[in-house]
């Protein structure tokens, strides 16, 4: 029997389409910026974390390029923090550190991504996202960028693909 479980987090309530999903799929309505890692871990199979984390988070786009990119970067850093916890401690963004400290409800600051796990983060292209890649490179066996061919030419969406979290 397959023990994989899919958990989606959204600020607004999301209905899981029963036609395409079974009991292994669930959604949680919560603000991911305030969600404790331990609460996320509790949702995983055997409470041991997840083998894959996909962050498709995107800020409410304002049309102000620099603002939208900064918010996207902040969401990406939060996804990384949830995944690897204190292993990404070299995060130089003071605002993120303050936010991250408020998210932690327990002394356990381990991420929820299992060793050898994979992380995918959607971001809006900007100069800041290079910093995220630099943080991920030593943590994962491979970190690379992907801009899917199906992406509209006007879109600034790009994905950071991190494979094989090092132990």
Instruction: State residue 138 phi and psi, 5-degree precision.
Output: -75, -15
Place of tokens 């958990």: 7
**pLDDT of the residue at 104:** 40
Sheet holding 140-146, edge to edge: 50-55, 113-124, 157-165, 140-146
**pLDDT of the residue at 7:** 76
Single pTM value for the model: 0.81
Measured CA to CA, the distance from residue 54 to residue 38 in angstroms comes to 18
Residues 131-142: tens digit of each pLDDT: 999 999 999 999
Taking the CB of residue 12, how many other CB atoms lie within 10 A of it? Answer: 6
Tokens of 134: 């630099």
pLDDT interval class at 108 (50, 70, 90): low
Residues 5-15: tens digit of each pLDDT: 677 777 777 77
Q: Which parts of the chain fold into alpha helices (H)?
A: 37-42, 65-84, 94-103, 129-136
**pLDDT of the residue at 90:** 53
Residues 40-61: tens digit of each pLDDT: 999 888 888 999 999 988 888 8
Cβ(82)–Cβ(31) under 8 Å? no
Place of tokens 């939208």: 68
Residues 68-77: tens digit of each pLDDT: 999 999 999 9
């Amino acid at each position: 029997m397959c023990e994989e479980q899919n958990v989606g987090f959204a600020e607004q309530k999301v209905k899981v389409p029963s036609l395409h999903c079974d009991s292994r799929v669930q959604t949680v309505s919560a603000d991911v910026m305030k969600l404790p890692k331990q609460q996320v871990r509790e949702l995983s199979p055997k409470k041991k974390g997840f083998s894959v984390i996909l962050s498709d988070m995107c800020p409410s786009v304002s049309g102000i390029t620099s603002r939208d990119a900064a918010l996207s970067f902040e969401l990406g850093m939060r996804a990384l923090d949830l995944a690897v916890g204190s292993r990404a401690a070299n995060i130089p963004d003071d605002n993120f550190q303050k936010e991250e400290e408020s998210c932690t409800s327990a002394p356990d600051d381990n991420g929820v991504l299992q060793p050898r796990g994979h992380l995918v983060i959607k971001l809006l292209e900007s100069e800041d996202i290079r910093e995220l890649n630099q943080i991920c490179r030593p943590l994962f066996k491979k970190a690379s960028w992907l801009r899917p061919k199906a992406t509209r030419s006007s879109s600034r969406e790009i994905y950071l693909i991190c494979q094989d979290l090092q132990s």
